[in-house]
């Protein structure tokens, strides 16, 4: 390319030309909104470390879902906030636990207008805050698989469209897949958190669901962020066991991983724009340090550009409102 005949700025002078050649687009169908659920009625507790996000009773969750649908959001992921806990998390396997009850009501009210993803994990339901059953001061992998599989079946029976195990136990996809298939739910896809790092970015989420470990940490089952290639083995194992798509968590500090996975695997990738990433933007915006929506959109585009097909984000509702506002203006 030789200047002055070649002038790259020619494609940037006109806003319509810029829009014409853009190759990374954020669409409302790309976005998945997390919803935190609690027992009770007329409950809407703001989560202090997740400004603008709430713990919702089922009645208020239905109102929120209606607002999401009205803005064009068609996918949600549900997380239970349980006041009742036990040592194994088996309370999550009951059809009377908060998430199965919510799924039934959301399905009854909105039908197929919303895709319901259900997180599968024990941490919100265990008294110690770990993702599985503790034996000899460590999470017992195979005992935990039994609870996870039972929980997954309960969620499928309630009407979940997708199951998303986030526990990082070895063999969980196979265990859940076998349980579903043997129970007549072979059409329900499993989207595991195949690449989930032991990250400091999860703090606000753990406040939201009350799932912080009472003792120790999760480094014996979540991946070290100092490893650059370990994700290959995790993904290979999950694909072999029957994963239908994968979730990568966190997203913003792991765009290199998203890109590598996108370049090496022909499988849908969902990036989880986690609570710490959300809170950093919210906090800076509230102090007037940044333009919030511009930063949000740039961040979302970075994840899509890296190779994500969809994004779980607490910003989903705000992004949809912004996109709708732009469409009206145009």
The tens digit of pLDDT for each residue in 34-83 reads 999 999 999 999 999 999 999 999 999 999 999 999 999 999 999 999 88
Model confidence, pTM: 0.94
Site of tokens 């088996």: 90
Active site residue: 179, 249, 260, 304, which one? Answer: 249
Q: Residue 329 above 60 pLDDT?
A: no
For the chain, which residues make up each domain, given as ranges? 28-246
Across residues 203-210, what is the average pLDDT? 79
Q: Is the pLDDT of residue 212 over 80?
A: no
Candidate list 196, 260, 282, 304, residue with the active-site label: 196
Query: What was the pLDDT predicted at 211?
Result: 65
Q: Considering just the CA atoms, what is the radius of gyration of the chain in Å?
A: 20
pLDDT band at 132 (very low <50, low <70, confident <90, very high): confident
Rounded average pLDDT over 163-172: 94
Is 196 considered catalytic here? yes
pLDDT for the residue numbered 226: 96
Out of 24-38, 94-108, 123-137, 155-169, pick the least confident. 123-137
Q: What is the pLDDT of residue 28?
A: 97
Taking the C-alpha atoms of residue 250 and residue 45, their distance in angstroms, rounded to an integer, is 25
Band the pLDDT of 26: cuts 50, 70, 90: very high
Match 């997203």 to its residue by tokens. Answer: 251
Rounded to whole angstroms, how far apart are CA atoms 290 and 282?
9
User: What percentage of the chain exceeds 90 in pLDDT?
Assistant: 80
**Is the predicted pLDDT of residue 1 greater than 80, yes or no?**
no
- Give the pLDDT band (50/70/90) at residue 219: confident
Q: How far is CA 13 from the centre of its chain?
A: 38
Q: How confident is the model at residue 289 (pLDDT cuts 50, 70, 90)?
A: very high
Angle, in degrees to the nearest 10, between helices 255-264 and 292-306: 30
Is CATH 3.20.20.70 the right assignment for the domain spanning 28-246?
A: yes
Write down the pLDDT at residue 230.
96
- Confidence grade of residue 281 (pLDDT, cut at 50, 70, 90): very high
249: annotated active-site residue = yes
Tally of residues, the chain: 330
**What is the mean predicted confidence (pLDDT) over 178-191?**
98
Strand partners, 228: none
């Amino acid at each position: 390319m030789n200047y002055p005949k070649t002038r790259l700025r020619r494609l940037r002078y006109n806003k319509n030309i810029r829009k014409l050649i853009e190759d990374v687009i954020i669409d409302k169908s790309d976005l998945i909104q997390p919803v935190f659920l609690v027992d009770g009625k007329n409950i809407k507790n703001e989560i202090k470390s997740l400004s603008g996000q709430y713990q919702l009773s089922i009645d208020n969750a239905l109102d929120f879902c209606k607002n999401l649908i009205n803005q064009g959001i068609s996918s949600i992921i549900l997380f239970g906030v349980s006041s009742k806990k036990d040592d194994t998390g088996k309370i999550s396997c009951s059809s009377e636990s908060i998430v199965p009850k919510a799924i039934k009501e959301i399905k009854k009210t909105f039908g197929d207008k919303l895709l319901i993803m259900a997180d599968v994990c024990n941490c919100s339901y265990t008294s110690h805050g770990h993702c599985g059953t503790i034996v000899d001061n460590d999470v017992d992998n195979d005992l935990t698989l039994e609870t996870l599989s039972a929980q997954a079946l309960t969620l499928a029976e309630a009407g979940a469209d997708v199951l998303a195990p986030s526990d990082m136990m070895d063999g969980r996809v196979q265990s859940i897949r076998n349980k579903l298939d043997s129970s007549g739910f072979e059409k329900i896809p499993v989207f595991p958190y195949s690449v989930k790092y032991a990250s400091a970015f999860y703090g606000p989420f753990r406040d939201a669901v009350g799932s912080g470990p009472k003792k120790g940490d999760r480094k014996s089952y979540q991946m070290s962020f100092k490893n650059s290639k370990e994700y290959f083995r995790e993904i290979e194992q999950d694909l072999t066991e029957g994963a239908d798509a994968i979730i990568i968590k966190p997203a913003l500090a792991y765009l290199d991983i998203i890109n590598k996975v996108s370049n090496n695997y022909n499988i849908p990738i969902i990036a989880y724009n986690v609570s710490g990433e959300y809170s950093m933007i919210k906090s800076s915006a509230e102090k007037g340090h940044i333009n919030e929506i511009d930063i949000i959109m740039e961040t979302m585009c970075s994840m899509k550009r890296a190779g994500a097909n969809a994004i779980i984000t607490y910003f989903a509702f705000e992004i949809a409102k912004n996109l709708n506002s732009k469409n009206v203006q145009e």
